[in-house]
Amino acid sequence: MVRLSRIALPTGLRRALTFWRRSIQARVVVSTLLLSAIVISAVGWFLLQQIRDGLLEHRAEVVVGEVEAEVAFNRDRLSAASGTEVNASVQRANLIGPIIEAGDSRGYGVVLGGPEGNDTGLADGGAHRTSGLELSSVPERLEEHFDGDNRPTAWTYTDIVRTLPDGTTESEPGIAVGSQVLLPADGDYYTIYFLFPLTEEEETLGLVTRALLTAAGLLLVLVAAITWLVTRQVVTPVRMARRVAERLAAGWLQERLRVTGEDDLARLATSFNQMASNLQRQIRQLEELSWVQRRFVSDVSHELRTPLTTVRMAGDVLHDARRDFDPVTARAAELLQAELDRFETLLVDLLEISRFDAGAAVLDVEDTNLLDVAHRIVDAARPLADQRGVQVVVEQPERPVRAEIDVRRVERILRNLVTNAIDHAFPDDLDHPIVVRMAADDQAAAITVRDHGVGLAPGESAMVFNRFWRSDPARARASGGTGLGLAIALEDAHLHGGWLQAWGRPGEGAQFRLTLPRRAGMPLRRSPLPLAPVDEVVLAESEPEETPASEPGREPSRGVPS
């Protein structure tokens, strides 16, 4: 499996991302600000459009009214003069001159268009215009509107282009209004274009825009402050509950939340405190019950040793004299001896469990070659294996496997694993021997015991270490175990700071792995041997990733999913 390495992020960005993930208050404030910014932007854009349209429409109404009044005044003035009094050029000059002067005084430009009947347009009358005003300021679509005679007044938006004294040009938005006037001297219609700049409207719109932006910024700050205050009122009790819950989880069962007010959060705090009190009471009851149970087991185990010794002495006498008895009585003496052995083993195991429960178990470590330990255990279990018709072999490791261990406890672990493998192996199966492997690296040493017997069903790889648990209670055990062997083995592994794990599949056998630190007290990171057997095809996919346990040596027992 290919793993992608994490992308290296700057420290500041990594801290910001961590704060973002962990702070619900920051996420609520930022989300509210973003939504508020979107809403304010949409509303502000709509208001600006409405204000802009209102200003332009009002300006257009004003300038059109002003143009119609100016044109009407000049029409009346021209109609009062006789057409033969002056020639057309003089009369045209008398028409446009006052209009241009009025435009200069009021801030708008004027362009006189030629007679429409002669099809000269602005080319003929364009010379009569406000100084510096370019003819391109008149839109073509407005000129096309006045192609004929006696057309109504019309207007449109345009860009007013002016030539400055230094020869450069400047452009500004404006409104172009056109109207036609009949010149009595020649009977032709002339078009007068009035060009009104929108400078005041631009300034007004800019002022409104700045005001809206300022108001939006202040509104966002206000929304952020309100959101932060509101979320703080909700998040602060939640954070207090989290801290109290963490202390409760750490064992500080007397911790409680401070209750203020009568709102929902106060009722939640009250319910939390009631829950904590009930948990504290139940935990104390369980601790007392557990202490009573451990004390009972310890007392019973010790008290039974005295009568067991007496019964053992009587049983030994009967067992030694069994040849003088009839067959039934002799068989009864043999069964009594076997059950006394099993009972004595059970008492020893119960005493050992009570030491673990009381925390009185200690290690007596020494640097030991695990290969020698494995050979001693296998040699001792060979009669049982021969009785079952199975073989137990120890593979030679590639390098010496040494570790600082309590030899007695590690021998007990291996003895339990080997005898369990013999008990659960298929009888007379010489083609699939029980294999004991071991390996070591710089930090850890590991031993695996592999059998090809009945195996473990899904979920049983963790239950197999429970006290008195058996996968099939109906099956007879060749070794006569008590049901506490693997539980004691697990405690022995934890006492070393190591792991004891199981893998299994129904009908394909099982493998147990013991991993121990090379040096006493050294933390474990991974095991030198895989948990799944090397003869399994699913090795790479099946084995779980090994991570250090939450407590030293407390790696949870787990199997490989099938």
CA distances from 372 to 131, 386, 396, 408, 447 (A): 115, 21, 11, 13, 12
What single-letter amino acid sits at 488?
I
Tens of pLDDT, residue by residue over 166-199, are: 888 899 999 999 988 888 777 788 888 999 999 8
Task: Say whether pLDDT at 552 is over 60.
Answer: no
**Domain housing 124:** 81-197
Task: Say whether pLDDT at 551 is over 50.
Answer: no
* Co-location of 334 and 445 in the same domain: no
Average pLDDT, rounded, for the chain: 80
Q: Sign of the C-alpha dihedral, residues 415, 421, 426, 428?
A: negative
Average pLDDT over every residue of 129-143:
87
* Co-location of 391 and 463 in the same domain: yes
Q: Sign of the C-alpha dihedral, residues 15, 17, 22, 24?
A: positive
Let me know if residue 20 belongs to a domain: no
Residue that finishes a domain, picked among 197, 213, 237:
197
Structure tokens belonging to residue 249: 């989880």
Provide the terminal-to-terminal Cα distance of the chain, rounded to the nearest Å: 18
Let me know if residue 532 belongs to a domain: yes
Residue that finishes a domain, picked among 321, 340, 361:
361
Let me know if residue 459 belongs to a domain: yes
* Co-location of 343 and 465 in the same domain: no
Surface-to-core class of residue 310, CB atoms within 10 Å of its CB (0-12 exposed, 13-18 middle, 19+ buried): exposed
Q: What pairs with residue 449 in β-bridges?
A: 436, 512
0.75 cut: is pTM over it? no
Tens of pLDDT, residue by residue over 453-479, are: 888 888 788 788 887 776 655 455 555
Residue 499's CATH number? 3.30.565.10
* Co-location of 298 and 334 in the same domain: yes
Q: How many domains does the chain have?
A: 3
Residue that finishes a domain, picked among 333, 361, 389:
361
* Co-location of 438 and 405 in the same domain: yes
* Co-location of 303 and 171 in the same domain: no
* Among 4-13, 46-55, 131-140, the range of highest mean pLDDT: 46-55
Let me know if residue 138 belongs to a domain: yes
Instruction: State the Cα–Cα distance between residues 199 and 189, nearest whole angstrom.
Output: 32
* Co-location of 339 and 469 in the same domain: no
Let me know if residue 32 belongs to a domain: no
* Co-location of 439 and 536 in the same domain: yes
- Choose between 36 and 477: higher pLDDT: 36
CA–chain centroid gap for 404, Å, is 42
* Co-location of 131 and 106 in the same domain: yes
Tell me, what's the pLDDT at 538?
Answer: 43
Tell me, what's the pLDDT at 8?
Answer: 60
- Choose between 368 and 257: higher pLDDT: 368
Average pLDDT over every residue of 35-47:
92
- Choose between 7 and 133: higher pLDDT: 133
Q: pLDDT band at 268, cuts 50/70/90?
A: confident
* Co-location of 349 and 371 in the same domain: no
Task: Say whether pLDDT at 549 is over 50.
Answer: no
Task: Say whether pLDDT at 115 is over 80.
Answer: no
Q: pLDDT band at 359, cuts 50/70/90?
A: low
* Co-location of 290 and 384 in the same domain: no
Instruction: State the Cα–Cα distance between residues 35 and 32, nearest whole angstrom.
Output: 5
Tell me, what's the pLDDT at 48?
Answer: 92
Contact 454, 537 (CB under 8 A): no
Residue 277's CATH number? 1.10.287.130
* Co-location of 405 and 537 in the same domain: yes
Q: pLDDT band at 213, cuts 50/70/90?
A: very high
Let me know if residue 10 belongs to a domain: no
Instruction: State the Cα–Cα distance between residues 495 and 362, nearest whole angstrom.
Output: 8
User: Judging by DSSP bridges, how do beta strands 434-440 and 392-394 pair with one another?
Assistant: parallel
Task: Say whether pLDDT at 208 is over 80.
Answer: yes
Long-range contacts of residues 489-493, Cβ cutoff 8 Å, at least 24 apart: 489/412, 489/413, 489/416, 489/417, 489/465, 490/465, 490/557, 491/353, 491/356, 491/361, 492/406, 492/409, 492/410, 492/412, 492/413, 493/413, 493/553
Instruction: State the Cα–Cα distance between residues 499 and 445, nearest whole angstrom.
Output: 11
Task: Say whether pLDDT at 214 is over 90.
Answer: yes
